[in-house]
Structure formats: structure tokens, C-alpha cells
Amino acid sequence: MSNNEQFKILIIEDEKPIQRFLSILTSGHGYDVKSADNGKDGLWHVVNWKPNLILLDLGLPDTDGLDFTRQLRTWTETPIIVISARDKESEKVQALDVGANDYLTKPFGSEELLARIRVALRWVTSSEQQDITEYRFGNITIDLVMQQITRDDELLHVTPTEYKIVTLLAKNMGKVLTHKQILKDVWGDNYSEHSHYVRVHVAQLRHKIEAVPAQPKYLITETGVGYRLLSDH
């Protein structure tokens, strides 16, 4: 647990029982934790305490969590995991599109939350690294210098679009990207409503990188929201 002590987690949640549960859970796994009951206090902690990760409830008493996320994204890339009772897919997509890194719907399991936290903090660590030349997951290697993908050191024949998609997901390893985010990055702003483009290319990618395409281990669908790429751990 001592490895977690370097990470600071800010909980912004006005429901005291949930705030207390989150605080006990995360501090019990070695994280340095602070809590805020509202957006104003939460913002003060973000500015002055500089957390590595924010657990954010959308239903705050003084501000909407979506507006709060938009505000933060104008000046910081600190990962945000939204924790909310709002369970509509459209609301998940909206939160992710305005800049949240992940979304958990109440109620949720302790292990699921801890896994999402580990993913978000790995993103923090990897984003601080300079001159990354490759990404690996399973037996797949993405070589950014040669712009090619290999499986067990054998070259995979992927299209330029497939390469862009899997590289984008690899750069955001573990983070769910919405259809809109993928479309904007790969195809451009004019294709934001063409989500079927993404589905077709992801299906093709799975046949190339997954051992069992119908039961993907790495390229995971977040139903109605988008996709995330998982590593082995």
C-alpha cells in the first residue's frame, strides 16, 4: 500500500455516508485523501492541494458536476472519475465528452472503484513520461516510430484508420472514449454523428488483435457510450 501514498485523491461528494465510505476505502488502501462537500470547496482543494485524481459527484448543492468538469478542463488535466446516481447512457456520454475520464453509477462495488482508480492513476504516471515510442498490451505491440502493429512479433496488416483508432485508445489506456471523441480525433469534427464508422472499424480491429473477437479481452465496448482498451493488469 505504501506505493499509493504518493497519490492524492480528492473526493467531492455532498452525501456524508458516501463521502465517508469513499474516504475510508481509499485511505485504507494507502492513498492520501481529502474531501469536499461542494464545488466551491472542491475547487479550492484542486487549486491549492493539487490532487492526482478527483472523485466527483454530479449532484452537488452549489453547482452541476458537468459544469464543474468543464471549468476544470479549461486549465487542468487532472483525471476525474464521475460517481453519480444518474444512470442514463446519454448522461454518461455527456460527462465523458466534457472531460471526465471515467464514470461509475451508484451503487457500485469497492473493487470496481479501486480498479478504476488504479487505471486513472496509471494514466497520470504514463502521461508524465516523455518520448514514449511504443504501447504494449497482451501479445500486441504498437510501434509509434515505425507506425506499425505486431502480434507475437509478426506484423499485423491494419488500415491507417484502424491504426489511428487503436493508437488513440492505447494513449488513453483504460480510459473510456466516447464515439464522439474517437470520431473527432480520427475522422474530424464533421463526422461526430457517424458512430457506425467506429463500430465497423472496431469490429475489424478485434479480428486482428483479439484471440476470440466475439469475447474481447482488450478492446472493450462500453454499451451506448464508446470503447476502452485494457492492458493485462
In this prediction, residues 189-197 reach a mean pLDDT of 77
Which residue did the predictor score with more confidence, 45 or 76? 45
Q: How large a percentage of the chain has pLDDT more than 90? A: 68
In this prediction, residues 147-158 reach a mean pLDDT of 93
* Chain CA centroid to CA 215, Å: 21
| Contact (Cβ atoms closer than 8 angstroms) between residue 171 and residue 159 | no
For the entire predicted model, the pTM comes to 0.77
CA gap 72, 206 in Å, rounded: 35
CA gap 109, 40 in Å, rounded: 28
Domains of the chain and CATH, by start? 2-127 (3.40.50.2300), 134-229 (1.10.10.10)
User: In this model, does residue 1 exceed pLDDT 50?
Assistant: no
Task: Pick the range with the lowest mean pLDDT from 82-91, 150-159, 196-205.
Answer: 82-91
CA gap 92, 223 in Å, rounded: 11
Residue 210, all three cell numbers? 483479439
pLDDT band for 133, please (50, 70, 90 cuts).
confident
Residue 125: its pLDDT value, please?
64
CA gap 199, 205 in Å, rounded: 10
How many residues are given for the chain?
Answer: 233
Residue 151 Cα distances to 52, 76, 157, 214, angstroms: 34, 36, 10, 18
